[in-house]
Structure 1
Amino acid sequence: MSQAVIDAVRAVPRHLFIPDVGLVVEEDGAPYLIDKQADPCAWWDTVYSRSIIVTQLDDGATGLDALAGDSTSSASAPSTVADLLNHLRAEPGMRVLEIGTGTGYTAALLSRLVGDQGEVTSIEVDPAVAEQAAKNLAAAGLTPRLLIGDGALGRADGASYDRVHVTCGVREVPYAWVAQTRPSGVIVLPWHPGYGTSHALRLEVRDDGTAVGRIEGFAGYMMLRSQRPRPCENQAPGEERRHYRTALDPRALDQLGAGADLAIGALTGLRSHTSEGTDEDGAYVRVFVADPDDSRSWASATWRPGSVTYGVQQVGDRPVWDEVLQAYAQWVSWGEPHWRRFGVTVAPEGQWVWLDTPERVLTSA
């Protein structure tokens, strides 16, 4: 971690960006509320912990006290925030575009990193979230430029930027971000290709108008609103389903790691989702794979205790489960490359994943 990021984190009080009542979502365990008035000690302890604190559910339609719903704004885990800023390498005097103001905490850190001679422009799509962020930043004594709008469009009237910092997950990197970044400028974002793991991606803009970079780690964020996916499972319940058995334990496929996820996602273009629970037949782990552009093409494979083969059901004309198995075999034939060997190129005509060098492009069927 750079000393500059450490100093910025120490200089910006996180508690100024956390509401009196927040929803804590732990990786393992039930969500719970923190309330500054009811239990100030627990509130302060949580604010200065590694916890993600959700500040909005269902775009504001559901109160936090419901303890359930889609998280649509939050204070991200401090370690994840610091990691992405470390990859960004914002320096004094730079001009930075931030996509997704959220609570305003990251905009505050960016303001510290670029200093008085730099400039931070932050775009938030949700007016209520933006209004609260402005209050939080004012309490911290910081004045980045705050705008309400669709972050996917960037902000052309402020271009070109030295850095673009993204605080929402994206599947397709909007080319506007590349076009608005100067050559040799850097874009850091949570990349959510849809299959398996989500990644921290660092892109550097080239003179030819492309942006090229490698996977730097992991970063799970709420999706850019214009790129939110529909639920992966049970997409077309009315379609006729084909049932058969497979020898591949779906739990093993789900636990292959980020390298396999990157390869399978790039080679197939599919999305995945894993769920576990108990139904009338007992405990299960179920892996879904789906065509993101065709709700009629999907498959699921289910593990149950004691099984030596596993049930697969498939819907639609596209044999998506077979494609996943073929892509898995391809990844194995390459020597099971680690996620650090993968990268992404973004160009006006689209984006693609590569292995080892930008010339070795992985394409979906």
Structure 2
Amino acid sequence: MINALADRVEASEVWREAMHRAPRHRFVPDLVLVHPLDAPPHLVDRASVPEGWLKAVSSPAALVTQLDDGVTDLAMGSGDYTSSCSAPDVVFSFLELLDPYDHYRVLEIGTGTGWTAALLTARLGDGRVVSIEVDEQIAAQAETNLKAAGPHPRLIVGDGANGWPDGAPYDRVHVTCAVRDVPYPWVEQTRPGGIIVLPWSPGIGHGHQVRLHVQRDGTALGRLIGSADYMMLRSQRRTWSWEGDVEEATTRMDPREVVRDSIGADPALAALPPGVRLLEQPSPDNGTYTLWLAHEDGSWATARFIPDADEHIVRQHGPRRLWEEAEEAYFRWQSWGRPGHDRYGITVTPEGQHLWLDDPSRVLA
């Protein structure tokens, strides 16, 4: 069954071979929260259901290994997901985008269980992979897993946002956690011509796969490629407030339209009203739907759809009028011809990052 997973996963032969040398089951704890795409999450304990555990490990499902940064016991089965062994198809999709050549050096951000560090080491050899993990507990378990499995990447405990300059320059940077803002040290520590692959999660809709190419002038740029929902880099997590006095108004627009075409509209919404977080709250019992928008400056807004209503209720708080910003961004996206996500790209400079449409010169602001 283990070998069947290696043969089934969508990957080139070189990565299938690496998976045979670093099989997934060696990096999965006995108790996991299985998160399949087509069924509710459920706990599997190797001690009580060994066949069920093996089936889960050999499946395409993501396996959650930590809740609430380790504060909440995984056996409780509920809490914020803070570490996992990612779905194999997504793992190998990123590794294919990374495309390391023989003898390359790779910096990995987010060791997790150690599985992807092992795959990279199986591909490139010992001493060519540096993997950074911010959580000491997770890092210790990954070290144990790797010692038992055989591959020997260099493991560092620290904030991956800073990279690891002592091992630079790198030919590739492999990121296993989502980021809103690409840390410039990753670009700075990569050779010109090198590649950085990462999950970009601007806070609106689904996350995106991004492949950045490092330029000779110290910048990096690349396009959005596919979808990728990953846990946030811990130093980029945000908290949101939904308190304060509100101003109430109405809108004739159905709030659901903002997210209906999200795979293409999301990047525009992320760029034009910058720094905004969007959440959806459908209510199937009565057909209502609430769209929540928030910014870290304390501004927030809700737009509530009510079936058969001519106008929908908008409530807003703070210095920004987030619903108006989101509505304006949506109609600007419409005016561009409703471009899909693959027409957007990101450029990263020492001063920050910006999103562009079709060409790096067409910056969205």
Q: What SS does the corresponding residue of 1:362 show, helix, strand or coil? A: coil
Q: Secondary structure at the match of 1:194?
A: coil
Instruction: Quote how far apart the aligned CAs of 1:26 are.
Output: 3.6
Q: Which residue of 2 aligns with 1:260?
A: 265
Partner of 1:191: 200
Q: What's the CA shift for 1:316?
A: 1.6
Task: Give 2:106's aligned amino acid.
Answer: V
Q: What secondary structure does 2:272 align onto?
A: helix
Whole-Å Cα distance in 1 between the matches of residues 54 and 308 of structure 2?
Answer: 46
Residue number among 170, 178, 194 corresponding to 2:187 in the alignment: 178
Structure 1: segments with no counterpart, 5+ residues:
none
The match for 2:166 among 154, 157, 165 is 157
SS of the residue corresponding to residue 220 of structure 1 reads: coil
- Aligned 1:117-132 pairs, distance under 5 A: 119-132=128-141
CA contact (8 A) 1:91 1:113 kept: no
Match among 340, 345, 348 for residue 347 of structure 2:
345
Task: Select which of 292, 301, 314 maps to 1:288.
Answer: 292
In structure 2, do the counterparts of structure 1 residues 228 and 133 end up closer, same or farther at CA, with 3 Å as the change threshold? same
Q: Which runs of 5+ in 2 are unaligned?
A: 1-10
Residue from 307, 331, 334 that aligns with 2:333: 331
CA distance in 2, matches of 1:66, 1:277: 26
Comparing 339-348 with 135-144, greater Cα deviation is found at 135-144
Asked if 1:362 corresponds to 2:364, the answer is yes
Aligned residue type for 1:290: A
Matches within 5 A, 1:45-56: 45-56=55-66
Whether contact under 8 Å (1:354, 1:360) holds in the other structure is: yes
> Secondary structure at the residue paired with 1:268?
coil
% identical equivalent positions:
50
Residue by residue, what CA displacement relative to the aligned partner does 1:156-210 show, whole Å, maximum 9, x if unpaired?
0100000000001101111000000000000001111112221111001000000
Whether 1:97 and 2:103 are equivalent positions in the alignment is no
Deviation at 1:92, TM superposition (A): 1.7
Instruction: Look up the equivalent residue of 1:285 and give its one-letter code.
Output: Y
List 4+ stretches of structure 1 deviating above 6 A. Answer: none
The alpha carbon displacement at 1:27 in A equals: 4.5
Tell me the secondary structure at the aligned position of residue 187 of structure 2.
helix
Corresponding residue for 2:231?
222
1:77-116 aligned at under 5 Å gives the runs 77-116=87-126
Give TM-score scaled by structure 1 length: 0.93
User: Which residue number in structure 2 is paired with residue 140 of structure 1?
Assistant: 149
Greater shift after overlay, 1-10 or 190-199?
1-10
Tell me which amino acid in the other structure corresponds to 1:8: A
**Whole-angstrom distance in 2 between the partners of 1:184 and 1:229:** 33
CA contact (8 A) 1:107 1:122 kept: yes
2: distance between equivalents of 1:337 and 1:71?
32
Deviation per CA, 1:191-231: give whole Å up to 9, x if none: 11112221111001000000010111111111111001214
The counterpart of 1:248, out of the listed 244, 253, 266, is 253
Counterpart CA distance in 2 for 1:198 and 1:334 is 22
Matches of residues 263-274 of structure 1 in structure 2 within 5 Å? 263-269=268-274, 270-274=276-280
The TM-score with structure 2 as length reference comes to: 0.93
- Deviation string, structure 1 residues 111-166 (Cα, Å, up to 9, x no partner): 122135x6000000011100110111112111100110111110001000000000
Tell me how far apart the structure 1 counterparts of residues 97 and 242 of structure 2 sit (CA, whole Å). 41
Equivalent position amino acid for 1:113 in 2: R
What is the alpha-carbon distance in structure 2 between the residues aligned to residue 243 and residue 27 of structure 1? Answer: 38
Secondary structure in 1 matching 2:166 = helix
Is the Cα–Cα contact under 8 Å of residues 36 and 60 in structure 2 kept in the other structure? no
Q: Secondary structure at the match of 2:212?
A: strand
The answer to whether the 8 Å contact 2:258/2:327 transfers is no
Instruction: Determine helix, strand or coil for the equivalent of 1:361.
Output: coil
Quote the Cα distance in structure 2 between the aligned partners of 1:299 and 1:213: 32
> Take 1:195 and 1:38, find their aligned partners in 2: how far apart are those partners?
40
Of 11, 19, 24 in structure 1, the residue corresponding to residue 29 of structure 2 is 19
Letter in 2 for 1:294: D
Q: 1:318 aligns with which of 320, 324, 340?
A: 320
Encode CA deviations 1:269-317: one digit per residue, 9 max, x unaligned: 12211123478xx4532211122x311x111112244444322111123
Q: Is the 8 A contact 1:178 1:209 kept in 2?
A: yes
